[in-house]
Amino acid sequence: MTSYRRTLEIKPDYAEAHYNLGFSLNELGLLDDAVASLRRALDIKPDYAVAHYNLGNALKGLGRLDDAVASWRRALEIEPDFAMAHYNLGNILQNLGRPDDAVASYRRALEIKPDLAEARNNLGVVQQEDLGLLDDAVASYRWALEIKPGLAEAHINLGRAQRVLGQLNHAIASYRRALEIKPDFAEAYSNLLFLFSYHALLGPHEYLSLARGWERACVPAQDREALCGPTGFFRTQRFLVDGLGWAMCREIIASMR
């Protein structure tokens, strides 16, 4: 960033240097400063599509969703085939409760960039959660995974859809694959624990192992020690009680000490 600032001392109206500085500040989480630099770039070069796009990203980080949408729409007015702007716009529109508009944005992003796996995955989420199109959602998740097999979030979402469809073994396999890719994926642990607890599909010792995996993924070490003491069983016991009952719990925990 020092080089950008030095450049701007020499040439204050250098839009690209303001943009690069703003981009770097955004990456560092200095969002207010990023917004200021990106706006300066746009003062100098109003049709700078990527600056509008990254301004939208910074505004989203600040929770200014309507302003972010306006920035991405401006980027798309200048550069209609900006796939990531369509994708980000879809994400925000979903969050704002506009699923049909979100689907349109995801589909446009995929027309431009068919290998954008994250857009396929998020399209599936809207189809499943907002529109009730479960079969379409499964197709979207599978398509995302054909493009990017290591996308753990798509494995999780596919597992959730499979559970609703009653395909429990397939759902378990999807959750486990997510954990192979991302071993600290708390949501995968939670979904597996819910599935096993609700449907009584797992032996108690494996259930305990999963519960402790969830604990490691979700609870920082210092918090576990504060809550549980040296044995570290407080939260794990809660999962065991929910899933197995007190009697089985006591027997398993005693055998693990």
pLDDT tens by residue, 20-61 = 999 999 999 999 999 999 999 999 999 999 999 999 999 999
Answer yes or no: are the C-beta atoms of 38 and 46 closer than 8 Å: no
**What CATH number does the domain containing 49 carry?**
1.25.40.10
Same domain, 144 and 212: no
For the chain, give the percent of residues with pLDDT over 90.
63
Do 164 and 225 lie in a common domain? no
Give the closest residue to 155 by CA, choosing from 135, 123, 179.
179
Cα-Cα end-to-end distance for the chain:
53
Residue 242 CB neighbours (<10 A): 14
Whether residue 76 is found in the same domain as residue 120 = yes
Q: What is the per-residue pLDDT for 195? A: 75
Which structural domain, as residue segments, surrounds residue 47? 2-203
Structure-block tokens of residue 245 = 């009952």
Task: Examine the domain organization and report whether 32 and 63 are in the same domain.
Answer: yes
- Taking the C-alpha atoms of residue 85 and residue 80, their distance in angstroms, rounded to an integer, is 9
The count of structural domains within the chain is 2
Q: Do 54 and 177 belong together in one domain? A: yes
In the chain (257 residues long), the average pLDDT of successive 10-residue segments reads: 76 91 94 96 97 97 95 97 97 94 97 97 97 96 98 97 92 93 86 69 55 56 50 45 42 43
Say if residue 215 is in the same domain as residue 156.
Answer: no
Do 150 and 76 sit in the same domain of this protein? yes
Asked if 167 and 228 sit in the same domain, the reply is no
Instruction: Assess whether 58 and 151 both reside in one domain.
Output: yes
Q: Is 195:175 a contact under the CB 8 Å cutoff? A: yes
CB contact at 8 A, 179 and 144: no
Domain boundary among 203, 221, 241: 203
Tell whether 126 and 166 lie within a shared domain. Answer: yes
